[in-house]
Amino acid sequence: MSKYMLLMRGSQTEFVKMSDAEQTRIIAEHRQWSQELISRQVFVDGNGFSNITLKLVPEKGKIRRIMQPYIDSAEELSGYYIITAESLEVATEIAKTCPALAHNESVEIIPLGH
């Protein structure tokens, strides 16, 4: 079995504009899907991302730290799952059931490892 990252991209700006009830409903959908992945024994890890990022940038032999909000575009990283699957095709079929797709987010499937 290989590992795959399902990288979700969507608008954090739109998410934070939603009511608490709507945010809670979406999070509950993801928790339910995680439980389904666990029961299928393909779940490794997963989480949503906050809207703050700490970026490390090499600059003149030193490392500069840049702390900034992560709300800059319509395609921000919103979260990830790591799953196991027998092939990219199987990982793709699993990813097609990700609740992020129902909320106009994209899901990238990234094989992990070399």
Residue 110 one-letter amino acid: I
Structural domains present in the chain: 2-111 (3.30.70.1060)
| pLDDT for 14 | 81
Q: What is the pLDDT of residues 3-49, one digit of tens each?
A: 999 999 987 778 888 899 999 999 999 999 999 999 999 999 999 88
Query: What is the distance between the alpha carbons of residues 49 and 12, in angstroms, rounded to a whole number?
Result: 9
* pTM metric for this prediction: 0.85
Helix (H) or strand (E) holding 30: helix 20-39
Residue 76 has pLDDT above 90, yes or no: no
- Calculate the alpha carbon distances from 11 to 50, 74, 79, 95 in Å: 12, 5, 11, 19
Query: What is the distance between the alpha carbons of residues 16 and 12, in angstroms, rounded to a whole number?
Result: 6
| pLDDT for 90 | 98
